[in-house]
């Protein structure tokens, strides 16, 4: 059975600065990620792994090269189109959780779906289902500062799933957590992958990286 690629990067280069004083963060990256993959990207600080993840997540654009996301060339679309795709096809999980402190857990999870056209009742129903899925049914109306780090990251995972994205990008998802909380998060991540979600994760922790199906190592802006 043919497995379709979710991501195809070909010759991706990323430069920063002016032409005269350019710094190259990525040197001709080639990477194919298939539906159902769970890939860990590792490398030393400054290797380019965060830059790569930002380009994959349409938070940054490549200087040159091509990037196909679900067979669509996203290097040739405008910022509004990129934002539309980013909201619907990509779920983000960050090291620092990035939750809004002034609203409760349920409202944080609902946030990505506000501009998708679904009505309030449907949004709340899905958000509650996701919070139950990550084991937070007793914390729905709490504020983020009333939760532990591990619980906040579970909220972030539920939020990432809100619009049923084809791709989950996790940037050091266990980086701010103790070992036990990190293991809980990885259990959830692996379960999502078993359910068919395609996952790309950045990590500097070897024991976390080993839990992925594939490992991509980056050094000096190149895939080793």
Percent of the chain past pLDDT 90, that is, above it, reads: 84
pLDDT class of 224 with cuts at 50, 70, 90: confident
Mean pLDDT score, 52-64: 94
CATH T-level fold of 5-221: Rossmann fold (3.40.50)
- The mean pLDDT of 10-37, rounded to a whole number, is 91
Eight-state DSSP code of residue 6 = E
pLDDT by residue (tens digit) across 134-160?
999 999 999 999 999 999 999 999 999
Task: Calculate what percentage of the chain has a pLDDT beyond 70.
Answer: 99
DSSP H or E segment with residue 185: helix 179-194
Segment among 14-28, 36-50, 91-105, 159-173 with least mean pLDDT = 14-28
Q: What is the pLDDT of residues 68-126, one digit of tens each?
A: 999 999 988 899 999 999 999 999 999 889 999 999 999 999 999 987 878 899 999 99
The 10 Å CB-count burial string (b at 16+, else e) for 89-123 is bbbbbbbebebeeeebbbbbbbbbbeeeebeeeeb
Nearest-angstrom CA–CA distance, 120 and 207: 41
């Amino acid at each position: 059975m043919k497995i379709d690629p979710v991501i195809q990067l070909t010759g991706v280069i990323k430069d920063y600065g002016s032409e005269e004083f350019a710094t190259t963060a990525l040197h001709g990256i080639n990477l194919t990620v298939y539906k159902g993959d769970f890939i860990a990207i590792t490398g030393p600080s400054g290797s380019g792994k965060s830059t790569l993840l930002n380009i994959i997540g349409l938070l940054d654009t490549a200087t040159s090269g091509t990037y196909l996301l679900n067979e669509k060339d996203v290097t040739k679309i405008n910022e509004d189109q990129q934002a539309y795709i980013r909201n619907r096809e990509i779920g983000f999980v960050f090291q620092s959780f990035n939750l809004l402190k002034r609203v409760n857990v349920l409202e944080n999870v609902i946030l990505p779906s506000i501009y998708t056209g679904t009505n309030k009742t449907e949004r709340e129903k899905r958000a509650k289902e996701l919070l139950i899925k990550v084991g937070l049914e007793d914390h729905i109306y709490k504020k983020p500062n009333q939760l532990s780090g591990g619980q906040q990251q579970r909220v972030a995972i539920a939020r990432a799933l809100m619009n049923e994205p084809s791709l989950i990008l996790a940037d050091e998802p266990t980086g701010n957590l103790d070992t036990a909380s990190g293991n809980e998060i990885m259990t959830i991540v692996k379960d999502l992958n078993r359910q068919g979600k395609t996952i790309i994760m950045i990590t500097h922790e070897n024991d976390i990286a080993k839990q992925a199906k594939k490992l991509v190592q980056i050094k000096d802006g190149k895939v080793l």
